[in-house]
């Protein structure tokens, strides 16, 4: 059986009276790429922040986030610091300020490599610039790089400590299609050359379909479907996933208008009774508004809906 590097099970995140994550559950096998997808506000970044132990100060988390069988949620700050960076690294969604504008790229990566205990940080920085395809960028300042090259520099910095798991949160959404594909290709090639597993977070079904081995779909703070990417994309079992796929293909209604997913997802401040998708779901029945659906399974593929 393939080893699970990370298992998230029943993860809840609370911030005051808000509940941005209500039950996030999925796992990542060693050496694989997992996509975490869903519309804006469904809880993707909060889930990732809990995994790397960087939730907002006023947040609390319950459940299991087991990295190599140790629950990160039970760790103290010292144990977390040992894992953060050297085991799990994250490229954040708002990475704008991540590169210091007044230092050359090479020096910044060298500094991070030194902090992470590399004896020959200069050599490591050079190797990382080469591995990320920006050998010549070491002497440049961040403003002298294109968006794609800046992302490559961020990747170089994120993997400088040789982590086992890289979390990439919406890191290509500001890039054009061609550059996005180049960055995704780079990440996938680094999985092999650097021995990385990856959790990449995206709104995009197309990206998940092209670059992940497995996919977890979130709605209203819940994981609602999870499985091998090929199975989930070819035979979605949760109505939300089905609609995400059909709208991404720009399907039309019988009257010629574009298909959309009606309404909006429940906010983190709302109390959810029953299925989180009930008020948007074309197949909803009375019971959907009062009972939270449990998991249904077909091999590795699972979903939370009364149907199927
Ligand atoms: N610091 C915060 N305090 C309170 N609520 C927050 C905070 N950050 C996010 N939220 C709320 O938590 C919910 C989930 O947010 P999260 O950032 O995880 O969504 P997301 O799926 O990453 O969305 P996006 O695709 O837009 O990045 C949202 O309803 C959001 O408003
Ligand atoms: S449980 Fe009901 S509301 Fe939820 S997805 Fe299934 S049919 Fe739709
Ligand atoms: Mg986010």
User: What is the reported pLDDT for 120?
Assistant: 86
Q: How far is the CA of 119 from the centre of ligand 2 (A)?
A: 55
What's the residue count for the chain? Answer: 308
The rounded distance, in Å, linking the Cα atoms of 78 and 207 is: 36
In this predicted structure, the answer to whether residue 307 has a pLDDT above a threshold of 70 is yes
Higher pLDDT, 71 or 147: 71
3-state secondary structure of 71: strand
Per CATH, the homologous superfamily of domain 4-87+164-179+189-304 is: P-loop containing nucleotide triphosphate hydrolases (3.40.50.300)
Out of 54-58, 121-125, 152-156, 232-236, the most confident range is 232-236
User: What is the reported pLDDT for 116?
Assistant: 73
In this predicted structure, the answer to whether residue 51 has a pLDDT above a threshold of 70 is yes
The rounded distance, in Å, linking the Cα atoms of 79 and 77 is: 6
**Residue from 224, 239, 265, 308 to probe ligand 2 pocket by mutation (most atoms less than 8 Å from CB):** 239
User: What is the reported pLDDT for 2?
Assistant: 58
Please tell me the number of the ligand nearest to residue 37's CA: 1
Q: What is the per-residue pLDDT across 71-91, written as a single tens digit (0 to 9) for each?
A: 999 999 999 988 987 899 998
Which residue, judged by its Cα, is nearest atom 17 of ligand 1? 45
Q: How far is the CA of 167 from the centre of ligand 3 (A)?
A: 12
The rounded distance, in Å, linking the Cα atoms of 94 and 36 is: 17
Span 136-143, average pLDDT = 90
The rounded distance, in Å, linking the Cα atoms of 188 and 211 is: 7
| Strands 59-67 and 4-15, bridge-based pairing | antiparallel
Over pLDDT 90: what percentage of the chain? 67
Contact of 238 with 225, CB cutoff 8 Å: yes
User: What is the reported pLDDT for 95?
Assistant: 58
CA distances from 305 to 22, 170, 172, 260 (A): 16, 27, 31, 20
User: What is the reported pLDDT for 75?
Assistant: 93
pTM for the complete prediction? Answer: 0.93
Span 206-216, average pLDDT = 95
The rounded distance, in Å, linking the Cα atoms of 156 and 190 is: 10
Choose among 210, 295, 183, 284: nearest CA to 243: 284
The rounded distance, in Å, linking the Cα atoms of 285 and 288 is: 5
Residue 112 pLDDT level (bands cut at 50, 70, 90): confident
Which residue, judged by its Cα, is nearest atom 3 of ligand 2? 278
The rounded distance, in Å, linking the Cα atoms of 19 and 271 is: 9
Q: Where are the domains of the chain?
A: 4-87+164-179+189-304, 101-162
Helices (H), ranges, the chain: 44-51, 77-83, 105-115, 121-131, 147-158, 177-193, 205-211, 229-234, 239-248
Which residue, judged by its Cα, is nearest atom 4 of ligand 1? 15
Between 148-152, 162-166, 243-247, the lowest mean confidence (pLDDT) is in 148-152
Q: What is the per-residue pLDDT across 253-274, written as a single tens digit (0 to 9) for each?
A: 999 999 999 999 999 999 999 9
Higher pLDDT, 110 or 229: 229
User: What is the reported pLDDT for 177?
Assistant: 85
Hey, what are 262's tokens? 């009606």
């Amino acid at each position: 059986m393939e080893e699970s590097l990370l298992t998230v099970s029943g993860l809840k995140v609370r911030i005051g009276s808000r509940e941005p994550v209500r039950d996030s559950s999925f796992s990542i096998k060693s050496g694989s790429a997992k996509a975490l997808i869903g519309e804006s506000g469904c809880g993707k970044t909060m889930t990732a922040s809990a995994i790397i132990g960087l939730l907002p100060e006023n947040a609390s988390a319950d459940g299991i986030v087991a990295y190599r069988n140790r629950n990160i949620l039970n760790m103290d700050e010292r144990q977390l610091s040992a894992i953060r960076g050297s085991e799990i690294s994250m490229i954040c969604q708002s990475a704008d300020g991540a590169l210091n504008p007044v230092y050359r790229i090479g020096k910044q990566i060298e500094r991070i490599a030194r902090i992470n205990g590399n004896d020959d940080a200069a050599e490591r920085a050079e190797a990382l610039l080469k591995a990320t395809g920006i050998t010549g960028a070491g002497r440049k300042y961040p403003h002298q790089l294109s968006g794609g090259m800046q992302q490559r520099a961020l990747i170089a910095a994120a993997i400088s400590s040789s982590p086992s798991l890289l979390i990439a949160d919406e890191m290509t959404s500001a890039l054009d299609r061609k550059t996005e594909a180049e960055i995704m290709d780079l990440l996938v090639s680094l999985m092999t050359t650097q021995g990385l597993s990856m959790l990449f977070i995206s709104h995009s079904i197309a990206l998940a379909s092209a670059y992940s081995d497995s996919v977890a779909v979130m709605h209203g703070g819940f994981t609602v479907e999870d499985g091998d990417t090929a199975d989930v994309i070819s035979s979605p079992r949760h109505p939300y996933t089905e609609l995400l796929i059909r709208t991404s293909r720009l399907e039309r209604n019988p009257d010629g208008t574009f298909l959309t997913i009606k309404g909006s997802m429940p906010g983190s401040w709302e109390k959810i009774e029953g299925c989180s998708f009930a008020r948007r779901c074309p197949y909803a029945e009375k019971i959907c508004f009062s009972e939270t659906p449990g998991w249904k399974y077909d091999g590795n593929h699972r979903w939370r809906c009364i149907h199927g």
